[in-house]
Amino acid sequence: MHDRRTFLSLSAAAAASVPLAGCGTLDKDGYDRAAARIRAPLPETPGFASLVRFATLAPNGHNTQPWTFSDHGTGVGIHPDVSRRTPVVDPDDHHLFVSLGCAAENLMIAAGANGRPAAMAFDPVGEGRIAIDLGRGPPRADALFRAIPARQSTRSVYDGRAVSPAELNALASVAQIDGVRLVMFTDPRQRESVLDFVIRANTLQVGDPAFVKELRQWVRFNPEQAVTTGDGLYSGCTGHPAMPSWIGERAFGLAFTKDGENATLTKQIRSSAGIAVFTGDKEDKDHWVRVGRSFQRFALMATALGLRHALINQPVESPLVRAEFSRWLGIGAARPDLCVRFGHGPTMPMSMRRPVADVVRAA
């Protein structure tokens, strides 16, 4: 029976017998330098391109970066890039619009800290877009702004330490956005219940060949592949060693099993201090963007406090499990939008982004 351990030993064997053959010339240090360049500090008076770079550091489903940005002089438009949809895991573009909300919040925080106070509106016309107006004001120190280049989805096992009540309050209060509800669970029994939903949903997903196929298309198996594409899920971010992509693609099919993934998720969730669930008041693109903004503020505050977080979205992605998860949450017919674990733990490598030039479109 192949499992995640098989994946690791296959990759170790690959590395031992054909040292990085097929992995390209970029090593881990080269990867880390590329990731750091993307996250270089902003210039003193950042223009459109610099603000867009910081916006793209936002989390986004499968790291497809499903966005483009337009420069309107006194504002910025953020548009869905529907060519980067993930129709299996996200058939109604829910994650896509949550990701746009995360990017919008990053951009507004970066602009506001640098003398361009920002306001946004969601325009539902066509596919929908976000319109951000930039004003003029004094620059201001902002812990959320400083956290933008340091934030990451940290998929490590955490150390089980509790998060203090003051920190929980800071997370809850910074995440307040009109139209979004946040609940946090820190009781181990509630955490076990959420784990149960995650395992059930994950079991369904891993058993769905279309889900696995879509996921594999976005996995990047070595530093060179990750840096060259500038997108996708770099296996190093989940603690897997580099391997040539042709081996990775075959090993992935064998090693990505429900038992292996469920065991990993169990360790990850049991090591977390708590779980946060974000729910929009309505099920539409406008509210998905709001959820993204709220989550982004939560994620940046967690980063500023030295806390880690990672999405465990399986129970909100699987429609079969989602309805029951809603009932357990006591939110009636509302749709839970995001499920996030948080706590203390080691960081992982940072993820890649595409160049700004690739995500800019005409106004």
Ligand X SMILES: Cc1cc2nc3c(=O)[nH]c(=O)nc-3n(C[C@H](O)[C@H](O)[C@H](O)COP(=O)(O)O)c2cc1C
**Footprint of ligand X (CB under 6 A):** 59-63, 95, 98-99, 102, 152-153, 155, 233, 310-311, 313, 351
* CB burial of residue 359 (10 Å; 0-12, 13-18, 19+): buried
Minimum Å gap between C-beta 21 and ligand X is 27
* Cα Dmax for the chain: 61
Residue 57 near residue 149 (C-beta atoms within 8 A):
yes
Who's near 291: CB < 8 A, 6+ residues apart? Answer: 98, 101, 180, 278, 279, 280, 337, 338
Residue type, 81: D
Minimum Å gap between C-beta 99 and ligand X is 5
Rounded to a whole number of angstroms, the minimum distance from the CB of residue 72 to ligand X is 25
d(Cα 25, Cα 37) in Å, to the nearest integer? 18
If the CB atoms of residues 84 and 155 are measured against ligand X, the closer one turns out to be 155
Cβ proximity to ligand X, 63 vs 272, nearer residue:
63
Q: Least separation, in Å, of the C-beta of 55 and ligand X?
A: 12
Residue with tokens 């219940």: 193
d(CA 120, CA 180): 16
Residue closer to ligand X (CB basis): 20 or 42: 42
Instruction: Spell out where 251-319 has E strands.
Output: 274-280, 308-311
Smaller CB distance to ligand X: residue 75 or 298? 298
Rounded Cα distance between 308 and 299, Å, is 8
CB of 328 within 8 A of CB of 197? yes
Of the pair 62, 290, the CB lying nearest ligand X is at 62
Cross-sheet strand order for the sheet of 274-280: 180-185, 274-280, 336-343, 308-311
Q: How far is CA 289 from CA 178, 224, 273, in A?
A: 11, 32, 27
CB of 328 to ligand X, least distance (A): 18
Least Å distance, CB 117 to ligand X, is 25
CB of 59 to ligand X, least distance (A): 3
Closest to ligand X by CB, 11 or 152: 152
Indicate the residue among 15 and 329 with the shorter CB distance to ligand X: 329
Pairwise CA distance, residues 190 & 99, whole Å: 27
Closer CB to ligand X, 156 or 351, in the complex: 351
Q: What angle do CA 191, 197, 198 make, to 5 degrees?
A: 85
Q: Which is nearer to ligand X, 61 or 75 (CB)?
A: 61
For ligand X, which is the closer residue by CB, 233 or 276? 233
**Closest-approach residue to ligand X (CB):** 59
Q: Considering the complex, what minimum distance in angstroms separates the CB of residue 231 from ligand X?
A: 9
Task: Work out how close the CB of 11 gets to ligand X at its nearest, in angstroms, rounded to a whole number.
Answer: 19
CA-based nearest residue to 337, from 56, 87, 152, 102: 102
Q: What's the CA gap between 113 and 244, in Å, rounded? A: 42
Report in angstroms how near the CB of residue 70 gets to ligand X at its nearest.
Answer: 21
**Residue written as token pair 């190093």:** 236
